[in-house]
Amino acid sequence: MKFRPLVVVIAFSVYGTCLAQTIVEEKVDEFTGNKVRRTSWEFINRVVKSEARFRISQVNDIMTFDLKIILGAGRGEVFSIKEGDELMFLMEGGEVIKLQNIEHQITCMGCGAVGLAGSERMGISVSYLLTKDAFEKLKSGTSVKLRVYTSIGYTEFELNEQQKIRLKTALGLF
């Protein structure tokens, strides 16, 4: 019984580390002179048939909300996201914040993966322009749901408390 408190402390330490959003890249590109900052990839949704991860990126003064998505069971769904397609955030007060995809992308094997997990499934990696106004609203408010438009319709991700914290923490790093 003496080990029970130790196990609880270790479990909470590991749990807290898993929620730690950090800056993983901060450099000035020696060829272009661009200042680059990026957070770590974090889950914004994870269910049996699909998953989505996000990070915030900044190159000079341009910020993006980067998203990796795997939809469907097995090898995953094949879909695309066109340039200009929207990512929508529903805020606690009912306000909707819209971001636009920067470049047309099509799913490919492993494109929605971070590391080896999901590398055998069809996925997509897209970047949405994060305007200064949208950034400030997302940073100061609380998102409750995301909607991503794709060639096969739209997918919604409801955010639980941990996911809300991850998003706010990532935005707070900039």
- pLDDT, tens digit (0-9, with 9 covering 90-100), for 132-154: 999 999 999 999 999 999 999 99
pLDDT of residue 3 exceeding 80, the answer is no
Residue 14, token pair as written in the block:
């590991």
Whether the full predicted model's pTM is greater than 0.75, yes or no, is yes
Residue 11 — very low, low, confident or very high, per pLDDT cuts 50/70/90? very low
Q: Residue 76: its pLDDT value, please?
A: 86
Calculated CA dihedral for residues 13, 14, 15, 16, nearest 10 degrees: 50
Burial classification of residue 115, based on how many CB atoms lie within 10 Å of its CB (0-12 exposed, 13-18 middle, 19 or more buried)? exposed
- Residues 18-71: tens digit of each pLDDT: 556 899 999 999 999 999 999 999 998 888 778 999 999 999 999 999 999 999
More confident position, 18 or 158: 158
Share of the chain above pLDDT 70, in %: 88
Q: Give the CA distances from residue 130 to residues 54, 74, 79, 137, 145, in Å, rounded to whole numbers and listed in that order.
A: 13, 32, 23, 11, 17
Residue 111 — very low, low, confident or very high, per pLDDT cuts 50/70/90? very high
Q: Alpha-carbon distance 118 to 127, whole Å?
A: 19
